[in-house]
Chain A
């Protein structure tokens, strides 16, 4: 018998789709050995999001709605998660792998004195317990592990569990009482800075178009790299050289000292392919490169490559894509 508690994640009042994968995980556990799962949603004015969660077959949608929970501060959220899990005799707490859960779940696990597994990609029952698979060392190792103890906390890799199909909207909504004055107040919310860019973050996008030293100035970067990214519905990225030169913003830097990306398609435009940059794209599924130097090391890692001037090729490519 399992009793699973899923922690839902909101982004600006809207439910993040990764939460559905966590529900998929919960369903898998429940289907295997029986039991039930509940969804806990925390925040302020979350009624709409809570309503949308009633259709997945949860035993209850628990709503902690309070002004003190307006922003996801780990110390407050973790305390409520731990209290709810304790009260409802939960055997497993789970959420999707995200910055939100990385921040909050380990703290909740500590409060529950529970073992925790991150990056879980598989779960199956075994004799008297469960066996999990999780990725380690940036995807180089798949570890098979089991946990001791009653309570367990998990973060779930979204891609590993399919979102559940919608059913009838019949899960009851159960309010959770929040006593704000008893919550920890160690962290203070200062501000929320939102990227103004309309493009997705390179770490989340399925397609990343990245510019290197071949791009001469900021206008060209926006026009060519940004333009191509928009045409492909992807994110823009940059090598260190462009960030150094002030052509691309720091937040777009990809590589050992920048962001690690794992898109389905990585399009390297005018990027020579220094190891410091390539270390950041090693998880890309497909790499394509445009460079005028046929000797550029990028062609050694690229699945497809075009030798040519990006100033000629990229506008053509954008033109073709727009047709």
Chain B
């Protein structure tokens, strides 16, 4: 018996084959030219420091490139970040699987064809390989069609966050028609070839089609129709390839590239140096060409899936900001600039209100499947806005006060330590023996409400015998909100002063109850020579409980679920700290420590806190980040009101928080709903249990 196979270009005369190759070469040239044009647009941007990736010896280069390649594999090929959105994610997976497999199949077929031109003995498209090839491609073709249909339904329903262009119908249509005509080419081939049934049934879809439509056709008719349908299919492939750079199909190229080049650094901002300001005579991004070319590339990687928009707290409360819109508007501006347009970025493309609406909560950057960083774009533009004097009103006042008095309320420096009166807190100036510095922050120092948090932390530290100290009146605002607001140099001024003080006292380890201070001390200060181990107070409390240094007296346990916890963005999402506070709260509820990270039994059930649906990395902002704490917000559309509703809907009587900003905002939000629920920091809830230990 003959080995199963089929002739490549069977039924296609050599003249047609030549024409086919010419057409395909032309189509690919159109495609490459299109990508080249986009590349030229990206290159309008500033250098991105990518050259450092290829510096050093081979081993060093390999080390540097390894995480990028790993990301490309996990997030590009395996689509890790595309997952998690239900049906649309599955539709995309089906489409990718089908497309990649058919692309691979076509490539293998082409390799076989070229190999046979060299020597017929090199043919490998036969035998068992051939049969497996046929059945695999047949099955994956169905995935492709299923993906197209599901995406078609989604586009038909079109949720508001999903960007849509007319060409999207073209893209889905051409993919669908390619899939369907592919099957018909196969069916017609089976019709004229009439292979043995044992072979034919390895192409199940084509075989069924053949039986339905072409059974009993004579060979000449079948050959003639096959030839025509084959040409139709092939020309469609040529059109498809040529249209890649001009439609959303461009993301075949840009999304993997962006995933590869991305430098994920949640919570870190590139520093601006005075030298750069003198060299370029500007701060931040004032025009589209001031972005780095990597940022411009990322604009082309955005497919407008709308996840960022759905996660954006500003957008959810009717602020004039959608991260998706910002990226798309910039992309449009980039293309226009490439065509010689003089349209400006600030005012003419992106409005100041859009930039100031952002809470820097990082939800957009955290959720983007292809690692576009809308927050980075926004903050770079904000720097320019603020540098050009575009900040006014309450936020500008807060920055001025931060500059003059090292706290955003402009309160006197010598009152910074008043909160600690009578607590016997060791102050660095008196040279105490300490292992860990307690960074109090401005809120803990001046805000009467947050002072209670600071006193609770101190009480826990003393109770547990931790050797700690505070900087007292030598502590200044970290400058975090100044930096996120765009006032880089005010931030640097404060950071340098603080680093000098911390270094003077040889501080190595810092604990703070403020996630904004934590992030700044950890990720901002390291850029200016301040290297510290920084932990959140909930981490320290959890550790003290685990080590048995802090024992909560047994009391009548509160009802399970009576406490809920709102994750602060800069703790949970940006720094991945979300289990320690739960560990502590579950201990309070009598659930016992569960070692952290136990998703399975910490979520709900006996002795556990009740969870807000958007929790941990998926938490939603209280509205105070990115300097929004210092701005007025329309009372009808407040971020805090929305988030407080989510917390109250859990039915909990206590809303626990781990951030002084969240404390303020959630208290306001809970009050706005007329609820009697208590909003308390985790430390306060713990300290409440220590009542009667004789400490002040």
Contacts and interface: CB of A to CB of B under 8 A. Distances in A.
Nearest to A273: B448
A301 B631 CA distance: 24
B397 A256 contact: yes
Interface stretch (B148-156, B409-417, B561-569, B645-653): B409-417
A275 B630 contact: no
Q: Select the residue from B448, B450, B632, B667 with max chain A CB neighbours within 10 A.
A: B448
Contact of B664 (A138, A213, A274, A301): A274
A244 B635 contact: yes
B404 A275 contact: no
Contacts of A276: 409, 664
Nearest to B419: A300
Contacts of B451: 297, 300
Given A137-B405, A138-B410, A257-B394, A275 B448 contact: yes
Given A241-B671, A244-B635, A278 B405 contact: no
Nearest to A244: B635
Contacts of A282: 409-411
B121 to A, nearest CB: 83
A297 B448 contact: yes
A153 B404 CA distance: 24
B405 A275 contact: no
A256 B398 contact: yes
A279 interface: yes
B409 A256 contact: yes
Nearest to B403: A137
Contact of A137 (B404, B630, B672): B404
Nearest to B450: A275
A245 interface: yes
Contact of B635 (A245, A256, A274): A245
B343 interface: no
Given A256-B397, A256-B398, A301 B410 contact: no
Interface string A259-279: 000000000000001111011
Nearest to A245: B635
Contacts of B398: 256
A140 B664 CA distance: 26
A275 B397 contact: no
Q: Select the residue from A275, A279, A282 with max chain B CB neighbours within 10 A.
A: A275
Interface in A218-262: 241, 244-245, 256-257
Given A213-B671, A244-B635, A275 B412 contact: no
Contact of B630 (A256, A297, A300): A256
Given A274-B449, A275-B409, A297-B449, A257 B404 contact: no
Contacts of A279: 409-411
B308 interface: no
A162 B443 CA distance: 40
B184 interface: no
What range describes how many residues of B lie at the interface?
20 to 34
Interface residues of A, number: 20
B447 interface: yes
B410 A137 contact: yes
A119 B446 CA distance: 27
Contacts of B394: 256-257
A298 B449 CA distance: 9
Given A140-B405, A140-B412, A213-B671, A275 B632 contact: no
A275 B401 CA distance: 14
Q: Select the residue from A138, A241, A279, A300 with max chain B CB neighbours within 10 A.
A: A279
Nearest to B404: A137
Interface string B361-405: 000000000000000000000000000000001100110000011
Contacts of B397: 256
A159 to B, nearest CB: 20
Contacts of A241: 668, 671
A282 B398 CA distance: 15
A275 B635 contact: no
Interface in A288-302: 297-298, 300-301
A138 B664 CA distance: 25
Interface string B447-487: 11111100000000000000000000000000000000000
B634 to A, nearest CB: 9
Contacts of B635: 244-245
Contact of A257 (B412, B413, B632): B632
A289 to B, nearest CB: 12
A138 B415 CA distance: 14
A301 B635 CA distance: 27
Nearest to B636: A244
Contacts of B632: 257
Contacts of B449: 273-275, 297
Nearest to B631: A257
Contacts of B672: 244
Contacts of A273: 448-449
Contacts of A301: 448
Interface in A301-316: 301
A273 B447 CA distance: 9
Contact of B443 (A137, A275, A300): A275
A242 to B, nearest CB: 11
A161 B663 CA distance: 45
A98 to B, nearest CB: 20
Nearest to A280: B409
Interface string B426-457: 00000000000000000100111111100000
B577 to A, nearest CB: 25
Contacts of B405: 137, 140
Interface in A132-190: 137-138, 140
29 contacts: A137-B404, A138-B410, A140-B412, A213-B671, A244-B672, A256-B397, A256-B630, A257-B393, A257-B394, A257-B630, A257-B631, A273-B448, A274-B664, A275-B443, A275-B446, A275-B448, A276-B664, A278-B409, A278-B448, A279-B409, A279-B410, A282-B409, A297-B448, A297-B449, A297-B451, A297-B452, A298-B448, A300-B448, A300-B451
Given A256-B398, A274-B667, A275-B443, 13 more contacts: A137-B410, A256-B397, A256-B408, A256-B409, A257-B394, A257-B632, A273-B449, A274-B664, A275-B447, A278-B409, A279-B409, A279-B410, A297-B452
Closest 7 CB pairs of A and B: A297-B448, A244-B635, A275-B447, A279-B409, A257-B394, A137-B404, A300-B448
Interface of A: 137-138, 140, 213, 241, 244-245, 256-257, 273-276, 278-279, 282, 297-298, 300-301
